[in-house]
Amino acid sequence: MKVLQSIRLSTILLKKCMSYKENLKNIKAFVFDVDGVFTDGSVYLMPGGNMCRVMNVLDGYAIVKALKNDYRIGVITGGNDEMVRHRLNYLGIEDYYAKSHDKMIDFENFKEKYNLKNEEILTMGDDIPDLHMMQNSVIAACPENAVPEIKNIADYISSKKGGSGAVRDVVEQVMKVQGKWHDDNTQSV
C-alpha cells in the first residue's frame, strides 16, 4: 500500500514539475513582491527612525537582463519605501505598485496595461497577501523561506531564499528555456 501511495505521489509531483517546466516557455511577464522576495524580509531600524533593506545584485542583474529582452516586470508591495522605489527604478522597473492594499487590483491593472493573459505571467511571493495574485498566474513561485500557505500553492519553490537570488533563479530559468539568457552582455548592477 505504501509503495502504491509513493508511486502516486511521485506521479503527481512529476506532472506538476513537467507542467511548470512546460509553462516557462510561455512567460512574457513577471510580478514580484518586495519584502521576502527581493529582500530577506528584514528591516533594519536606523537612527532617526529610518529603515533599511538589503537587495541582492544577482537579482538586479537578472531584472536588467529580462527588461533588455522585452519581458514586462511588475512589482506589487504593501510597503512604500522611497529607497526601494529608487532601486527598482534604477534597475529599469517602471511598474511599481506601492501601498497595495489589494494586490489583485494592481495585478489586474498590470495585466491590462500590457494586454497580458494569466498564462503569460510568473508571480513570486512569500506571504498571504501574495496568495490571490499567485493563484491567478500560470506559474506561482516562491522563495525557499516563504510561509507554508504560499509553499502549498506554489508551482515552484526556489532553493534560494528571498533576498538571496530567488528572483534571479526564476528569471534565469525562464530566459534559459526561451534561449535568451546568453543573448547580451548586461553589465552588473
Given this model, what pLDDT does residue 4 score?
A: 46
Q: Which amino acid is at 86?
A: H
Pick the range with the lowest mean pLDDT from 46-50, 68-72, 79-83: 46-50
Domain boundaries, the chain: 2-177
Identify which of 7-16, 42-51, 135-144 has the greatest average pLDDT: 135-144
pLDDT digits (tens, 9 = 90+) for 91-136: 999 999 999 999 999 999 999 999 999 999 999 999 999 999 999 9
Residue partners of 176: CB distance under 8 A and separation at least 6: none
Give domain 2-177's CATH superfamily: HAD superfamily/HAD-like (3.40.50.1000)
Distance CA 91, CA 184 (A): 16
* Sign of CA pseudo-dihedral 30, 69, 176, 65: negative
- Rg, C-alpha atoms of the chain: 17
Q: Which amino acid is at 154?
A: A
Average pLDDT on 10-35 reads 77
Given this model, what pLDDT does residue 1 score?
A: 52
Q: Which amino acid is at 85?
A: R
Q: Which three cell numbers stand for residue 167?
A: 528572483
